[in-house]
Structure 1
Amino acid sequence: MSGSKDLQPPPRRPLFNEILGADFERLPSTVKQFHTIGQRHHWSGEAEVRRGGSLIAALVCRVFGFPPTATRIPVTVKIEENGSVETWHRRFGQRIFVSTLTVKGVPGSGVLRERFGAFSFDIELSLKGRELCFPVIRARFLGIPLPGWLLPTSDTRETEEDGHFIFDVALSLLMVGPLVHYSGWLQPISATTQS
């Protein structure tokens, strides 16, 4: 008998806490709740979706699974945590699109990596007032860096309003224009924490 206690590692901090460091505590309470998940949780609400009008925008939306243009469409977001990876399942009406999120670089770097299939995007999270902003700073396809003219512009923000989690995601490409813009609100419908 060694006489030493079984030491368990300290619990992991939520992914966005790892990425944002001290700024995580400055998030509006509903945004902080949304990004503090334990093992998995579900949120629901409504959104408005507008797609860009070009054929290229339609193709990009199809490849990534973005929802069609709609008003007051029901939305559910299910987030599952597996170690240092979060998997986000977003359902807009009958359309589902999925991505995985991880820390890019060292904890506290402010950089998130989001993967949609063969595409990955590095996003430099920043807190501006009461809004968490998500500008894309790098993109890759099959691990190969994409040139700047193929880098999507992301005007994406999360905040809180009247106790609801508010999201506003506008994506565009330099030579194409708007791809998709979806915005709306969410509230928790269930939560399961790791025991």
Structure 2
Amino acid sequence: MSTNAVVDWFGPHFTSLHPLLQDLHRHGGQLQGQVDLEFGSGLAGLIGRRLARKLGLPTTAGPVPLRVIISHQEGALHWSRRFEGLPPMHSVFEPHGHFPEGHWLEQTGPLRLCLGVDIEGGGWRWVPRRVAYHGIRLPLALFPTSEAGKRIVNDEYEFSVRFSLPGFGLLLRYGGCLQPLPAVRDTAA
């Protein structure tokens, strides 16, 4: 079995993930499809659109094409998400410890999240533990509540990301099913 940051971090629990998630996280890959983007109403929607801009998401609700590239480099998991018409948003996930007590540090711009993982039905659900903004650790209660996960449904990669705020409700949500793109082979050899 080839190893990388994800395989090593999960250790023997890696086989608890759905086989298609195992393959994606063992070898990396590209996914694409149309996802649905939704915002809360009133002030929550206004806050959600501001959050969307900061995260590199569209600010108009509705269906939108998305491409995700997943790779492993220098002991970390790399994600590049690109919504049609917008520049890509890159995230680097650094592993610390091992499943189930360990965590991942996600760096996206000035925001740094400490994320645990739960495995549910072969899927992967992120569990926020800590947050820092510009290097300053802040209470999770000061930030929107996030729920994010991925699983395989009918051989498609289904994911959902949701941000809400106590007292306001839904700020924004996006998710849907993505299909794997064929692997690009190096024919120069």
Alignment TM class, shorter chain as reference: 0.7 to 0.9
Match of 2:113 in 1: 121
Q: Does the 8 Å CA contact 1:34/1:165 hold for their aligned counterparts?
A: no
Q: Within the alignment, does 1:140 sit opposite 2:153 as a pair?
A: no
CA-based RMSD of the aligned residues comes to 2.5
Shift in alpha-carbon separation, 1:142–1:116, aligned structure 2, 3 A: same
Structure 2 letter corresponding to 1:48: D
Q: Does the 8 Å CA contact 1:166/1:185 hold for their aligned counterparts?
A: yes
**Displacement after TM superposition at 1:179 (Å):** 2.6
Match of 1:3 in 2: none
Q: Within the alignment, does 1:24 sit opposite 2:9 as a pair?
A: no
Match of 1:73 in 2: 64
**Displacement after TM superposition at 1:161 (Å):** 1.0
Shift in alpha-carbon separation, 1:137–1:146, aligned structure 2, 3 A: same
Q: Does the 8 Å CA contact 1:43/1:189 hold for their aligned counterparts?
A: yes
Equivalent-residue separation in structure 2 for 1:49 and 1:72 (angstroms): 6
Q: Which runs of 5+ in 1 are unaligned?
A: 1-10
For these two proteins, the number of residue pairs brought into alignment is 182
Q: Percent identity?
A: 26
Q: For 1:27-46, what aligned pairs fall within 5 Å after superposition?
A: 27-37=17-27, 41-46=29-34
**Displacement after TM superposition at 1:15 (Å):** 2.5
Q: Within the alignment, does 1:85 sit opposite 2:73 as a pair?
A: no
**Displacement after TM superposition at 1:144 (Å):** 1.1
Query: Which of these two proteins has the greater Rg computed from alpha carbons?
Result: 1
Equivalent-residue separation in structure 2 for 1:12 and 1:145 (angstroms): 35
